[in-house]
Copies of this chain bind each other. A is one copy, B any other.
Amino acid sequence: MDHAKQVVEQILRGEVRAAARLIRDLDDGVPAARAILKELYPHSGRAHVLGITGSPGVGKSTLTDRLIQYLRAEGKTVGVVAVDPTSPFSGGAILGDRIRMQRHALDEGVFIRSLATRGHFGGLTASARAVITVLDAMGKDYVLVETVGVGQDEVEIAGTADTTMVVTVPGLGDDIQAIKAGILEVADVLVVNKADREGASRTQQDLLQMLELQVHRKDPAWRPPVILTQAKENEGIAELMAAVKEHQLFLARDGGAARQRARYQRVRQEFLELLREGVFRHLLQQLEKDGRLAAILQDIVERRTDPYSASEALILETLGPV
């Protein structure tokens, strides 16, 4: 317990090595790490979490790199969580791709973690949130969460940030790769990167029009702006950060009412994700221990029952009626 308290204090002081070790231990499912995470939780909630999502190839990593640079020049501390759902092998490739970002590795004010697998929490969302909690508790002013906007999980993770940026590029107008409806819904700020390419202002207009027609929004009182950037040339970054800060101000209005509403949604999602994985794992352990799982599977394989009836019966027996 003394050791745990010590680690908690190290992380609260922002010590990088203690945080890195904790994140690794969380991923490995070390029980003591989870206890420390619980201690850290009440100290989180102060960082501004910035989600950055979009299709592969739109320049998310370069943009993230520029945002780090900008925020550091302002004297802000930054944590980065890079989420990719693919396997360890491609994780390697991604790290290669992130070499640019790694130039911040020597900067004490920046802390970058990659997240490639579902990890011990079973869900990518829960794993990502655990890392965000650690970076937040470290006292980072901003936590940037970069995700590939492909799977539902990745969109979800970026979508529950305080401010979510959705990045696209010109000329993807009607294409499937452009802006998926589900992605647009989570956007607080839209970015048209590589804006020197032909059709940038057309894409901007298209997006503004899509936003007009949009029914579902995170917060109906906020109208997402569409910002043009050229991340590689470091252009439009100040404009983008101004839009982010405008959104921060919006969230802070009326004593932070909008921020509170958004955070409640995030807590709800976080709790339910943990519950979903946890209750399943616990039940699975029970079923494996007492041999019930093997018996049920045999019944299904031999077609004495079907998986639908078998799972319904088991759930009703375990939890009782609603």
Contact B176 A86 (CB under 8 A): yes
14 extra interchain contacts, Cβ-Cβ under 8 A, other than A38-B306, A89-B181, A118-B152?
A37-B306, A41-B308, A85-B151, A86-B176, A86-B180, A87-B183, A93-B176, A94-B176, A263-B301, A267-B300, A275-B315, A279-B279, A279-B283, A286-B319
Using known A-B contacts A38-B309, A306-B41, determine if residue A264 contacts B301 with beta carbons closer than 8 Å.
Answer: yes
CB pair B301 A272 closer than 8 Å: no
With contacts A182-B86, A308-B38, A312-B278 known, is A267 near B319, CB below 8 A? no
Do A297 and B38 form a contact, CB below 8 Å, given A272-B284, A318-B279? no
Tell me whether A275 and B271 are in contact (CB under 8 A). Answer: no
| Given known A87-B182, A319-B286, contact A307–B267 (CB-CB < 8 A) | yes
Q: Identify the A interface with B (CB < 8 A).
A: 34, 37-38, 41-42, 45, 85-90, 93-94, 97, 118, 150-153, 174-176, 180-183, 263-264, 267-268, 270-272, 274-276, 278-280, 282-286, 289, 296-297, 300-301, 303, 306-312, 314-316, 318-320, 322
Number of copies: 2
Asked if A274 and B319 make an inter-chain contact with CB atoms under 8 angstroms apart, the answer reads: no
Q: Is the CB of A307 within 8 A of B176?
A: no
